[in-house]
Amino acid sequence: MTSNAGVIIKIMPDSPDADLSLIESEARKVIENNQGIVNDVKNEPVAFGLSAVIITFSIIETFEQDPLTDSLKNIEHVSSAEIIDFRRIGF
């Protein structure tokens, strides 16, 4: 039996002027195309007017992390995407 995981990913835009709603929309598509279910999205101020997009989602525990984060990094105006929390959910 395969469990699901709760994942939090931090996506950093390449500038304070980046359209966070566009980054969020494209990130949702990437996550959903990888069989993930987005649970929460928020913007977190970082510094100097720059905010990160923090996305919480659930996905099958055995998903390939590198292809997912690489796809997120390829979104226009994204400088980095990093998994900051990964936990097994359900039994």
Q: Give per-residue pLDDT as tens, 33-91.
A: 999 999 999 999 999 899 999 999 999 999 999 999 999 999 999 999 999 999 998 65
Token code pair at residue 83 = 């998994």
Tell me the longest C-alpha to C-alpha distance in the chain.
Answer: 46
How high is the pLDDT of residue 1? 62
How high is the pLDDT of residue 71? 97
User: DSSP 3-state assignment of 33?
Assistant: helix
How high is the pLDDT of residue 39? 97
**Which CATH code, of 3.30.70.60, 3.10.450.710, 3.40.47.10, 3.30.450.20, is assigned to 4-89?**
3.30.70.60
How high is the pLDDT of residue 7? 97
How high is the pLDDT of residue 89? 85
Number of Cβ within a 10 Å radius of residue 32 = 13
Domain locations along the chain: 4-89
How high is the pLDDT of residue 28? 97
